[in-house]
Structure 1
Amino acid sequence: MKRSVVIGVAFTFLLFILSAWLSGMKEAPSPVYIPPSGQRSGDPGLGYRYVVEGDYLKSGIPYDLYLMAYGKDKKHYLQRDSLNENIPYNFTAVKASNGVVVVVPNCLQCHAQVFGDKLIVGLGSTDVDFTHNERSGVTAMRNWLKTFSGGHSGKYEAAADFIKVTSAVAPGLVTHVRGVNAADRLAALLAAHRDPVTLRWKDTPALEIPDAVIPTDVPAWWLLKKKHAMFYNGFGRGDFGKFLMASNLLTVTDTAEANVVDRNIPNVLSWLLTLEPPKYPYPVDKPKATRGKYLFETYCENCHGSYGPQGGYPNLLIPEAIVGTDSLLYASNFQYPQFIDWFNNSWFSSGPYPAQLTPFNGYIAPPLDGIWITAPYFHNGSVPTLEAVLNSKERPVYWNRYQGNKTVYDYDAVGFRYTTPDKPGGSSVYNTTLPGYGNYGHTFGDELTAGERKDLIEYLKTL
C-alpha cells in the first residue's frame, strides 16, 4: 500500500473517532428567548391610588392603637390625606371586614426606597431587615392588643388574621444579612397554608418547604415594562397581574375577596408601566461615556439590550453554565416542585387570565435602566458597586455598607461605600461565603482594562 493511501486511511479513521466523540458530547447551553404574553390594561391613576391607599390587605393593627404605639408620621413622602396622612408611606389605613379601621403594610414595604431626602417609588428597598424571628414580636403584639383594645372585641378581630398569618410564617423568613429580601420565601410559605383552589387558610401547612432562606435583591419596578416574564429566572409567565397579587395571600379569606382585588390589578399594572428611573444627578463625562457606549455595544448589548430611541431588549434567559452566578436562587426558591405544582393548579392559573410558573436553570439578563441607583448588584445583592460587577477581583468576601444605621452612596464606583472586615460578624456584614450569598460569576468585565471599565461605568450612568 502506498504511503499516501496509508495516510489517507489513518486520517479518515481519526475523523471518524473525532466525529463519534463530538456526537457524544452534550450540546453547549445557549440563551433562551422568552416570548411575550398578553397583559391586561387599565387606568394608571387608579392603579397608583390602589397601591398607596387600596385595601388589598384587610387585617392589621387597629388605627388608634397603631398611633399609640408608633406615633404620627412626620415625613409625608406621599402627601396623602385623611387617615393616611398620619402613617408612613409603606403602610395604609383601610377598613377591615368588620368595619374597624386598621393599618396594614402596602407594596412600598419592598418597592420604594428613601434615597437622599426623596422617596423613589419603584426602587427596590435595601432597608428591610429580615434577620430577626418576628414570632415573639407578633406574640407580644397579640397580648398588647388584647390589653389595650379596652374590651372592644371588634378591634382584636380586625387584627386576628394578620396576627395568625404572620405568627405562622415569621420563623421561616430569617435571613443572615440586613438589606436582602425574603419575599420569594414568603410566597412559598403562604401557599403552604392556603388551599390552591379556595385560598382558604389552613393552620397546618400542606406543603413541605425546604428550610433554607435564599436572599434576593428587589428589582426596580420600572424594568417590568421591558420584560416578557417576571422574577430573576423568568419563570413568571402569562398574566403579570396574578403575580402582583401574591401579597394578597397574607390576609385574603377566600377567592371571592381575591376576585375583588383582581379587578383592580389591571390598573396597577398600567401604572407600573408608566414608571421611569431617576436620572443620574451629576454631570457625566461625555467622551468617556461615548467610549463606554461602544464597549457596551461590543460586550453587553446582546444580553442586556440597547438603549435610546431605537433601543430594544432581547428577553434572554442565560443558562447558569454561561453566567456562573450563585445558583441557589433558581435551584431552590424558584424550583420548589410542590410550590410550582400548587401555583400551576391554583386560582392564580385559572380563569381567562391565567399565570404559570416555568422554571429555568439560570437567570434572565435584566434591563439596565437606572442601574446607577439600584445597588447592590446581582440577584442576591452580593456586589456593592458597579466597579466590582465589572471586575470580579474587586469583589469583597465580607463587606459592610452601614455607618451606624445609615449608608453612603459612592457616585464614582457607583454603589455603596463599604468597609471590608477580615471576618464575618453580625447581620450588618454581608458574608459571600454563605450558601445563596455568593458573589461569583458574571466575569465578562474582567477582560477589560481599568480605563475601559471607567468608560463603561460612565456610559451606564446615562441609562
Structure 2
Amino acid sequence: MSTVRGFSALALLAALLLTGCGSAGNYDLPAEPKPGGGDTGTVKDCATLFSTRVQPRLDYCRTCHVPGGLGDVPDGRLFQLGGDRAQDAARLKASWEALGGAASTPSRILRMASGTDTRSHSGGAPWPTGSAAYVEMAALLQGYVDPAACQLGGGGGSVEEQPLLGSARGGHYWDDFCEGKSDETPLPGDPRARVIPGFNAGKAVLMNAWWASCQADDQPANCGEQRARVARGFPIVASDGEIGAGSMFSGDHASSSFSFSAERYNTLWDQVMGLPARPDNFDQLMAERWGMPLSATRNPYPLPGEDPNASDGGSGQLPVGLTQLREADGRWTGQLNATCSICHGGQVGSVADGPGLGPLYGTNSQSDITVMFTDLGRIAPQQAALSVISQNKVRGTGNITNFQLFGTLTLFDDSADNLLGLLRYLSVQTQPSTGTEDPPVWWNVGHRPAKFFDGGQVMSSKRIELSFHFPDAVTPNNQAGRDWILEHQQDSDAWISSLKAPVWPAAKLGAIDTALAEQGAILFHAKDLWGSGLNNPVPRPEGGNGSCASCHGAYSPRYVHDPAFLEDPVMEGIAAYITPIEIIGTDPRRLDGNSQLVADYARYNWFAYADGPFADNGAPLCGDWNDSALRGSRKLGYLAPPLYGVWATAPYFHNGAVPTVWQVLKPEDRPAIWRRLSTPARADQEGQVVMGYDASLERGYDATHLGWNHETLSCGTAGTVPYLDCNPNDGGQSVQDVLGLIWGNGGLAWNLLNLPILSNAQIEDRKVYNTAMYSQSKAGHEFTAVLTDAERRALIEYLKTL
C-alpha cells in the first residue's frame, strides 16, 4: 500500500508541475492546442473531473468501442463502452482494471489514445501526450488509486466537442460566406491562396500543390460582385440556349463557322440512325446515343417546319452538349453548335430523386464525344475535324487535357515566329499520349489549389477553362479571341466554382447509418494506413498522419477545427497534395505525356501564361507545374482530389478504371474487363438504336459499393477483341502491345489511329473498359489493401455524407 501511495504522490506532483510551478490555473500546453485539448475546468473531486472533462471525450471512443463497432474485436473488447452513458464511469474503471490497473502505468488506455503504444490505433491519437485530454484522463485513472489526484485547477467549463459529421458539399468559400449577407459585405481572402510553401507544415493534412495568382482581378470586392460574376458565368459555360451562351470556338457570338442548322440536325434519324421514320422519342434517342442527357433546363431547337422565333426557340429539346445560338437581342438563329458540356455534362439519377440530381454540369463518365462528332460530321463537315482531335476509346472518357492538344488552339500564335511555333508544336507530338481520362468534377474546383489530375496548372490559371469556347481558334495573331477569354474568364470560373455536390438521396438509396458513418469519419481522418502491424508494402508519404485525410483533406467538423490537422477551419475540404507516383501507383501515362519537353513548349503558350507572371528563374508561374523549373524537388504524381459528392463520381481514378469505391478500397476486387449497364431500349426499338449508360438510381447505381452496376467480362467476350484489347496468356506480344508502343511515342497518334465508326455494334463495343489497354490500368491506391472489410463499410458510409 505504501508503494502505491508513494507512486500516487509522485503522479500528483507530476500533474501539478504540468500546471506551471504548481499554480492552480494553466497547463503548459502548446500555443495551438493539440487534439483533445481545451481549457481545464476547476475540479476538486473525481466525480466532477469525470463528468465535466473526461466523459465528453469518451463519446469519441464510444463511436467504435461498443458492441458491433469497429473496436469490437478481441483486443479492443478490453476497453468497451455502451449506449447508456450512465454506465460510462463503471465501464471505464472496469476497462482500466482489465488493462492492468495501477500495475500498468501509463495505462494502455492512454498509450493507445496518445499514439505511444506499440500497436496501431485505428482511432488515431486524439489525446496526445501533454494535451489536456491526456492529463485529465491520467489524473482520473490515478484517482482510482488516490482520489487526491483528481484535484486539478483551471479556467473553463465542460468540454464541448465538434460533431463528427458535416460537409460543405464543395463549391467555393465565398459563396458560402455570402449566404444571407448583403451585397456590400466585403469578401475575405480566398482560402486556397494560403496554400504556399510552409503552410500547414507538420500537420496531419499534407499540402505541396502551391497556389499562384495569375491575374490582378481574381478577387471581387464584395458579395454583390461575386454574385454578379456567378450569374454572368452561367450562360457562358452551361450554354443551354441562354442569351450569351458560349459554344465551340465561337465565344458567345451569334454566328459560327462551326455551327450547323437545326434542319440538318433533324435528319440524324435517317443519316445516322438509319431508321425508317423520325421516331417520336428522337430527342431522347440522340441523348442516349451520345451519352449526353437532355438538359434539365429548357434547351430548345426548332422541329421540322418550325420558326424558332415564333416558337420560343422551338419544340425540341437538345442534349447538354449542344446549344442553339442567339442574337444579343434574344432572337433565335436556328443554328446549333457544341459546348463544353460534351465533356463536362453528365447525369446521376433523375431530378425527382433528390436535390441536385438528374442532368449535372461538371461531371461526365458517360458521353462518347467521338461518336457525337462522327455523327455530326455526316451532316456538317466542319464538325468532322473534332472526331479526330478529340478522340476517346471508351464511352465516358476523353483525351483533352494535355498541352499537346491545347497547343493546337494557338498553333500559329505561340511566338512572333510562326514557323518556330509550329516546330515546337511538332516536337511535343513525339511525346507519349496521355490516353484515357475521365474529367474531374467541377463541384470540387473551389477546393483545389491546382487543376488537372497531375496538378499541371494552378487553379488561378483560368484561361484554359474557356479553351473550348475560344473564338477563332488556330488563327494567326488571334488577339480578339484572347481578349474574349480575358473578358469572361472571371465570370466563368466563378460559376464553375460555385457548383455544389448532390446530396445522398436517402429516400431513394436508403438512409445513412449515422453510427457507422461516424466510425468511418474517425477512420478517414485518424487511421494510419502505415501503422504498426499493418505491414503496408507501399512507401509511406513524407509527412501527414497516414490517413485518407492526409492526402484528400479534412471534412469532419471535429478534425477541421483541430489545429493538429489544419491551420484554419476555413481550409475544410481543400486537397492540395500531389501524391508521388511511387505511392499512388495509378496508371502513369498522364504523367508520361506531360513530359519536360511538353513543359518546355508550354512556356511559349498563351494558355500557359507565356506572358507572365514569372518565377524568379523566368518560368511562367501559371504554366505547366510539371516543369522542373516550377515544381522544384516535388516528385511527379497525381493530385488527391477533394471528395465532396464522391459517391456520385464513379468510375474512379483519373482514367475511370475502377467502377466502385469498394473496389478502390479493396484492390483485389477490381475487374480486369467490365462494362456498365445500358438503359433498356423501348420494346419497339430494341436492336435498332444505341442506348447510353443507365444512370438511374433504381437499376444503374450500386448503393452498397458506391458506384455503377456493371458486368465483368472475360477476355474473348464479344466486344473485347481478343489479341487486340486482351494480352495473350502465353506472354507474347499482342496488337495492343504494338499500338501501345506507338501511342507511347506519339501524342496525337492516340487521336488519329482509330477505325471509322460505321455501325451500332462498334458503338456498343466502345462501352467495354479493358484495363489491359494503354493508359487504362486498374493498378494503384494499393495502400488501402490493409483495411478490413468492416473498415471499408464504415468508410463508405462516411463518404455518403460528403
Letter in 2 for 1:279: V
Letter in 1 for 2:388: P
Instruction: Find 1:69's aligned residue among 258, 267, 271.
Output: 267
Cα deviation 1:240-276 (Å, max 9, x = unaligned): 3112022135843422122123201101111122111
Cα 1:437/1:238, change in 2 over 3 Å: closer
Query: Does residue 1:112 correspond to 2:373, yes or no?
Result: no
Q: Once the 2 structures are TM-superposed, how far is the Cα of residue 110 of structure 1 from its aligned partner?
A: 1.6
Instruction: Find 2:387's aligned residue among 158, 161, 170.
Output: 170
Cα 1:416/1:55, change in 2 over 3 Å: closer
Q: Following the alignment from structure 1 to structure 2, what is the Cα–Cα distance between the partners of residues 131 and 456? A: 37
Instruction: Find 1:232's aligned residue among 427, 450, 453.
Output: 453
Matches within 5 A, 1:55-204: 55=246, 57-58=249-250, 59=256, 60-69=258-267, 73=283, 75=294, 77-80=296-299, 82-83=312-313, 86=316, 87-94=318-325, 102-118=335-351, 119-130=358-369, 140-142=378-380, 162-163=382-383, 166-167=384-385, 170-184=387-401, 187-188=405-406, 190-191=408-409, 193-197=411-415
Q: Once the 2 structures are TM-superposed, how far is the Cα of residue 44 of structure 1 from its aligned partner?
A: 0.4
Which residue is 2:602 aligned to? 343
Query: Does residue 1:300 correspond to 2:548, yes or no?
Result: yes
Cα deviation 1:11-60 (Å, max 9, x = unaligned): xxxxxxxxxxxxxxxxxxxx761222234555100111222242453232
Cα deviation 1:180-225 (Å, max 9, x = unaligned): 1122258346247443258999999942424746011111101111
Contact 1:91/1:106 (8 A) holds in 2: yes
Cα 1:207/1:249, change in 2 over 3 Å: farther
Q: Following the alignment from structure 2 to structure 1, what is the Cα–Cα distance between the partners of residues 260 and 418? A: 23
Q: Once the 2 structures are TM-superposed, how far is the Cα of residue 399 of structure 1 from its aligned partner?
A: 0.8
Which residue is 2:685 aligned to? none
Query: Does residue 1:438 correspond to 2:777, yes or no?
Result: yes
Cα 1:85/1:265, change in 2 over 3 Å: farther
Letter in 1 for 2:325: V
Q: Following the alignment from structure 1 to structure 2, what is the Cα–Cα distance between the partners of residues 350 and 104? A: 30
By relative contact order (CA 8 Å, sep 6+), the higher-ranking structure is 1
Cα 1:277/1:194, change in 2 over 3 Å: farther
Which residue is 2:436 aligned to? 215
Cα deviation 1:351-373 (Å, max 9, x = unaligned): 57773111162101111000000
Q: Following the alignment from structure 2 to structure 1, what is the Cα–Cα distance between the partners of residues 410 and 333? A: 29
Name whichever of 61-70 and 380-389 sits farther off: 61-70
Letter in 1 for 2:499: L
Q: Number of residue pairs matched?
A: 409
Which residue is 1:356 aligned to? 623
Cα deviation 1:370-390 (Å, max 9, x = unaligned): 000000000000000001000
Letter in 2 for 1:356: G
Q: What's the secondary structure of 1:124's corresponding residue?
A: coil
Q: Following the alignment from structure 2 to structure 1, what is the Cα–Cα distance between the partners of residues 550 and 432? A: 37
CA RMSD of aligned residues (A): 3.4
Q: What's the secondary structure of 2:388's corresponding residue?
A: helix
Letter in 2 for 1:401: R
Contact 1:305/1:314 (8 A) holds in 2: yes
Cα 1:402/1:211, change in 2 over 3 Å: farther
Which residue is 2:590 aligned to? 329
Q: Once the 2 structures are TM-superposed, how far is the Cα of residue 100 of structure 1 from its aligned partner?
A: 6.8
Structure 2 alignment gaps of length 5 or more? 1-205, 221-225, 251-255, 270-281, 285-293, 301-311, 352-357, 527-546, 561-571, 614-619, 627-634, 681-690, 695-699, 722-764
Cα 1:205/1:303, change in 2 over 3 Å: closer
Which residue is 2:233 aligned to? 47
Q: Once the 2 structures are TM-superposed, how far is the Cα of residue 238 of structure 1 from its aligned partner?
A: 6.2
TM-score scaled by length of structure 1: 0.78
Letter in 2 for 1:218: P
* Greater radius of gyration (CA): 2
Q: Following the alignment from structure 2 to structure 1, what is the Cα–Cα distance between the partners of residues 487 and 612? A: 13
Letter in 2 for 1:272: I
Q: What's the secondary structure of 2:458's corresponding residue?
A: strand
Q: Following the alignment from structure 2 to structure 1, what is the Cα–Cα distance between the partners of residues 588 and 436? A: 12
Q: Following the alignment from structure 2 to structure 1, what is the Cα–Cα distance between the partners of residues 713 and 652? A: 19
Q: Once the 2 structures are TM-superposed, how far is the Cα of residue 105 of structure 1 from its aligned partner?
A: 1.2
Q: Following the alignment from structure 2 to structure 1, what is the Cα–Cα distance between the partners of residues 432 and 313? A: 40
Contact 1:84/1:92 (8 A) holds in 2: no
Contact 2:661/2:705 (8 A) holds in 1: yes
TM-score scaled by length of structure 2: 0.47
Q: Following the alignment from structure 1 to structure 2, what is the Cα–Cα distance between the partners of residues 395 and 197? A: 47
Structure 1 alignment gaps of length 5 or more? 1-30, 144-161
Which residue is 2:22 aligned to? none
Contact 1:108/1:121 (8 A) holds in 2: no
Q: Once the 2 structures are TM-superposed, how far is the Cα of residue 229 of structure 1 from its aligned partner?
A: 1.0
Cα deviation 1:415-459 (Å, max 9, x = unaligned): 011111111343222111112100111012211111111011000
Q: Following the alignment from structure 1 to structure 2, what is the Cα–Cα distance between the partners of residues 281 and 396? A: 27
Q: Following the alignment from structure 2 to structure 1, what is the Cα–Cα distance between the partners of residues 208 and 675? A: 37
